[in-house]
Amino acid sequence: MEYVKLINCMRCGMCLPHCPTYRETFLETASPRGRVALMRKIAEGELGTSERLLEYLSLCLDCQACATACPCGVNAGEMVAEFKCERREGEGLTFMEELVLRKLLPHPDRLEAAVAPMRVYQRSGLQKIVRKLGVLKIFSPALGRMEGLLPELPRQPLRRTIAEVTLAVGEERGRVGFFLGCVMSLVFSGASHATVRLLSLLGYTVVTPKTQKCCGAPNMLAGDRDGLLDAARFNVDLFTGHDLDFIVTDCGGCGAELKKYGHHLAGDDRAASFGARVRDISQILALHADELRDRLHPLHLTVTYHDPCHIAHCQGIRQEPRRLLNLVPGLDYRELAEADACCGSAGTYNIEKPEMSDRVLRRKVVNIRATGAEVLVTSNPGCLLQLKKALAEETPPVRVMHLTELLHRSLTAVP
Ligand code: SF4
Ligand code: SF4
């Protein structure tokens, strides 16, 4: 990491109230300012990298709320991720990481085949028995948590059922590429199907190349820079082969990573062009707000919105989803307190750091309940998984929907 990044912090403390781990602990070492200070002292050779010290750093959610708050442009979350990445680079991948990051994620067919037994597990009724007995939690708490987060899987991943080209309905106003995203296609195919339908109903021809690969964000998290660059090169080549105005995604995490392809592949003009054309679906839909206002049908629901970190903090998108929700006639929109605070999902953080994840999640759930909303809208698969589970356990339960599911329902509702 460039040393200059470590000396930009002027220790003002403006980031502290925005950092979820600081809010839970009131510990300087669990704050953005403290984390930057620790990394600086390591870089200056005054501190070694003890396990305890690394533990403090790894408690960071990489939510980047600190970057939004910092007047000096310090992004402590990104710096911690970079620090961990640099440390990992020399170590090589573990057996499991090699399996997941190199053998599964870059091969959508293999990934889908690996998930297929889960569908059998759910549909055979075995899941109900396992959950009732709680055997997984006894055998492996981490496995038990992972299994507990899994919602009912669709019959088929979207990649298998979606047409490679979905034609515009009516006169074509543009051509867009659709980036599927691994979890969106495998788990939330209904939401992504709604995304493609919305684009088509608004006059876009949607091209969904079937051989597209994972965006590479999991590789980045594990310090596997080569894997990330392989994914970026492949996806840039693939989408550049089509004549596209935009590359659209409905996954906050994928969008944040895809927009960085130009940076990752510096000097490659096609990667820069790819990155510049990536849009979150809310950005495209908001371009057609006037038309949507005339075409949306009433939905009599009380709704609130949770900003995914990868959309609000990493991409700076806050107004578009709210604007779109407020277009729906009959919808009672209630703003959520601390709406852009992390929900505690944060990639695999909720599995690796269950205690802190639960504390952060509880605060989010309390805020959601305080709105009185019957539906929570959000648009990132990690948040959907985390909040669906937590809010289903509430009384009365709160339904969780992707932004496009709700808008598609309103657009296609029979008046
Ligand atoms: S990281 Fe930014 S906001 Fe936080 S103390 Fe340093 S300068 Fe201030
Ligand atoms: S990324 Fe999030 S958890 Fe990490 S220091 Fe910044 S605000 Fe705190």
DSSP for 112-157, please give it: HHHHHHHHHHHHTSHHHHHHHHTHHHHH-HHHHHHHHH--PPPSS-
- Smallest CA separation from ligand 2 atom 2, residue: 63
- Going from the Cα of 308 to the center of ligand 2, the distance in angstroms, rounded, reads 14
Confidence class for position 415, pLDDT limits 50, 70, 90: low
Alpha helices in 205-266 (DSSP H): 217-221, 225-240, 252-258, 261-264
Tell me the average pLDDT across 137-154.
Answer: 80
Pocket-testing residue among 4, 36, 64, 80, ligand 1, by greatest number of atoms within 8 A of Cβ: 36
What's the pLDDT score for residue 97?
86
Ligand 2 atom at minimum distance from 32 CA: 5
What's the pLDDT score for residue 95?
86
pLDDT at 351 over 80: yes
Query: Looking at the CA of 22, which ligand is closest?
Result: 2
Q: Which residues line ligand 2 (CB under 6 A)?
A: 18-21, 32, 35, 60-66, 76-77
43 close to ligand 1 (CB < 6 Angstrom): no
Confidence class for position 136, pLDDT limits 50, 70, 90: confident
Identify whether residues 77 and 116 lie together within a single domain. Answer: no
Cis status, amide bond into 396, omega within 30 of 0: yes
What's the pLDDT score for residue 190?
96
Identify whether residues 188 and 235 lie together within a single domain. Answer: yes
Average pLDDT over the chain, rounded to an integer: 93
- Smallest CA separation from ligand 1 atom 2, residue: 70
Query: Tokens 């992504």 belong to which residue?
Result: 192
Q: Say what the alpha-carbon torsion angle 231, 237, 239, 243 is, to the nearest 10 degrees.
A: 170
Pocket-testing residue among 25, 27, 66, 349, ligand 2, by greatest number of atoms within 8 A of Cβ: 66
- Smallest CA separation from ligand 1 atom 4, residue: 15
Identify whether residues 218 and 328 lie together within a single domain. Answer: no
Ligand 1 atom at minimum distance from 11 CA: 5
What's the pLDDT score for residue 140?
77
63 close to ligand 1 (CB < 6 Angstrom): no
Tell me the average pLDDT across 168-194.
Answer: 97
Q: Which domain holds residue 293?
A: 288-412
CATH number of the domain within which 63 lies:
1.10.1060.10
Query: Looking at the CA of 74, which ligand is closest?
Result: 1
Please report, for residues 68, 305, 383, the alpha-carbon distance to residue 78 in angstroms, rounded to integers and kept in the order given. Answer: 12, 25, 19
What's the pLDDT score for residue 67?
96
Tell me the average pLDDT across 111-126.
Answer: 88
Rg of the chain on CA atoms, in Å: 21
Identify whether residues 306 and 374 lie together within a single domain. Answer: yes
Identify whether residues 126 and 164 lie together within a single domain. Answer: no
Question: Cα 21 vs. chain centroid, distance in angstroms?
Answer: 19
Identify whether residues 292 and 370 lie together within a single domain. Answer: yes
Please report, for residues 47, 87, 134, 176, 221, the alpha-carbon distance to residue 74 in angstroms, rounded to integers and kept in the order given. Answer: 21, 21, 44, 34, 19
Q: Give pLDDT tens digits for 17-51.
A: 999 999 999 999 999 999 999 999 999 998 887 88
- Going from the Cα of 98 to the center of ligand 1, the distance in angstroms, rounded, reads 36
65 close to ligand 1 (CB < 6 Angstrom): no
Identify whether residues 268 and 198 lie together within a single domain. Answer: yes
d(CA 14, CA 31): 11
Confidence class for position 414, pLDDT limits 50, 70, 90: low
143 close to ligand 1 (CB < 6 Angstrom): no
70 close to ligand 1 (CB < 6 Angstrom): yes
CB 131 within 8 Å of CB 150? no
Q: Give every CB contact of residue 201 below 8 A, 6+ residues apart in sequence.
A: 169, 411, 412
Identify whether residues 137 and 197 lie together within a single domain. Answer: no
Identify whether residues 407 and 292 lie together within a single domain. Answer: yes
CATH number of the domain within which 200 lies:
3.40.50
Query: Looking at the CA of 313, which ligand is closest?
Result: 2
- Going from the Cα of 359 to the center of ligand 2, the distance in angstroms, rounded, reads 15
What's the pLDDT score for residue 258?
98
What's the pLDDT score for residue 356?
96
Identify whether residues 61 and 109 lie together within a single domain. Answer: no
Pocket-testing residue among 7, 11, 66, ligand 1, by greatest number of atoms within 8 A of Cβ: 11
Sign of the torsion angle spanned by Cα atoms 131, 133, 136, 141? positive
Least confident piece of the model among 86-100, 115-129, 280-294: 86-100
What's the pLDDT score for residue 298?
96
Pairwise pLDDT comparison (72 vs 88), residue with the higher score: 72
Three-state DSSP at 280 gives strand
Number of domains in the chain: 4
Query: Looking at the CA of 69, which ligand is closest?
Result: 1
Identify whether residues 407 and 295 lie together within a single domain. Answer: yes
Identify whether residues 143 and 176 lie together within a single domain. Answer: no
Q: Which of 238, 269, 284 is the last residue of a domain?
A: 284
> How close are the terminal C-alpha atoms of the chain, in Å?
57
pLDDT at 177 over 60: yes
Ligand 1 atom at minimum distance from 36 CA: 1
